[in-house]
Amino acid sequence: MTVRLDWPSDVVNRLTEEARQKGLSLDAYVLQTVLQQTGSNGAPADEAEKRRQRAEAGARILDIQKRVKPDPEGWTSRDYIQNGRR
Protein backbone atom coordinates (compact mmCIF):
# COMPACT_ATOMS: atom_id res chain seq x y z
CA MET A 1 0.00 0.00 0.00
CA THR A 2 1.25 3.45 -0.80
CA VAL A 3 0.31 6.52 1.22
CA ARG A 4 1.24 10.05 0.22
CA LEU A 5 1.56 12.61 3.01
CA ASP A 6 1.99 16.33 2.42
CA TRP A 7 3.85 17.45 5.54
CA PRO A 8 5.91 20.59 6.23
CA SER A 9 9.60 20.12 5.54
CA ASP A 10 10.58 20.77 9.18
CA VAL A 11 8.37 17.85 10.30
CA VAL A 12 9.85 15.58 7.64
CA ASN A 13 13.38 16.63 8.64
CA ARG A 14 12.69 15.96 12.32
CA LEU A 15 11.18 12.55 11.62
CA THR A 16 14.03 11.67 9.25
CA GLU A 17 16.56 12.53 11.97
CA GLU A 18 14.67 10.47 14.58
CA ALA A 19 14.57 7.54 12.14
CA ARG A 20 18.30 7.88 11.45
CA GLN A 21 19.07 7.86 15.19
CA LYS A 22 17.15 4.59 15.51
CA GLY A 23 18.83 3.11 12.45
CA LEU A 24 15.58 2.97 10.45
CA SER A 25 14.40 4.31 7.15
CA LEU A 26 11.79 7.05 7.33
CA ASP A 27 9.14 4.64 6.01
CA ALA A 28 9.97 2.01 8.65
CA TYR A 29 10.10 4.61 11.43
CA VAL A 30 6.70 6.11 10.55
CA LEU A 31 5.15 2.63 10.30
CA GLN A 32 6.64 1.62 13.66
CA THR A 33 5.39 4.82 15.28
CA VAL A 34 1.87 4.38 13.91
CA LEU A 35 1.71 0.75 15.03
CA GLN A 36 2.86 1.69 18.54
CA GLN A 37 0.10 4.30 18.82
CA THR A 38 -2.76 1.95 17.96
CA GLY A 39 -4.05 -1.20 19.55
CA SER A 40 -5.10 -4.30 17.65
CA ASN A 41 -8.52 -2.78 16.97
CA GLY A 42 -7.06 0.53 15.81
CA ALA A 43 -7.96 2.37 19.03
CA PRO A 44 -5.18 4.47 20.56
CA ALA A 45 -3.12 2.39 22.98
CA ASP A 46 -1.45 5.48 24.47
CA GLU A 47 1.02 3.61 26.66
CA ALA A 48 2.69 6.87 27.63
CA GLU A 49 -0.57 8.14 29.12
CA LYS A 50 -1.05 4.89 31.03
CA ARG A 51 2.50 5.12 32.40
CA ARG A 52 1.91 8.75 33.40
CA GLN A 53 -1.29 7.84 35.24
CA ARG A 54 0.41 4.95 37.06
CA ALA A 55 3.28 7.23 38.09
CA GLU A 56 0.82 9.83 39.40
CA ALA A 57 -1.08 7.18 41.37
CA GLY A 58 2.17 5.92 42.87
CA ALA A 59 3.19 9.44 43.86
CA ARG A 60 -0.19 10.02 45.52
CA ILE A 61 0.14 6.77 47.46
CA LEU A 62 3.61 7.72 48.67
CA ASP A 63 2.32 11.15 49.70
CA ILE A 64 -0.52 9.59 51.69
CA GLN A 65 1.88 7.14 53.35
CA LYS A 66 3.99 10.09 54.56
CA ARG A 67 0.96 11.61 56.31
CA VAL A 68 -0.56 8.43 57.78
CA LYS A 69 0.76 7.48 61.20
CA PRO A 70 1.28 3.81 62.05
CA ASP A 71 -1.39 2.22 64.24
CA PRO A 72 -0.25 2.34 67.89
CA GLU A 73 -1.36 -1.27 68.41
CA GLY A 74 0.28 -2.41 65.19
CA TRP A 75 -3.02 -3.38 63.57
CA THR A 76 -3.35 -3.47 59.82
CA SER A 77 -6.48 -2.52 57.87
CA ARG A 78 -7.24 -6.23 57.60
CA ASP A 79 -7.05 -6.57 61.41
CA TYR A 80 -9.61 -3.81 61.83
CA ILE A 81 -11.90 -5.42 59.28
CA GLN A 82 -11.65 -8.81 60.96
CA ASN A 83 -12.18 -7.27 64.40
CA GLY A 84 -15.29 -5.45 63.18
CA ARG A 85 -16.82 -8.74 62.02
CA ARG A 86 -16.76 -10.28 65.49
Print pLDDT tens along the chain (86 aa).
788 889 999 999 999 999 999 999 999 999 888 877 765 555 556 777 788 888 899 999 888 888 877 777 888 888 888 887 75
> How much is the pTM?
0.45
Rounded to 5 degrees, what are φ and ψ at 44? -60, 130
Whole-angstrom CA distances from 30 to 19, 21, 34, 38, 50 are 8, 13, 6, 13, 22
Strand, helix or coil for residue 38: strand
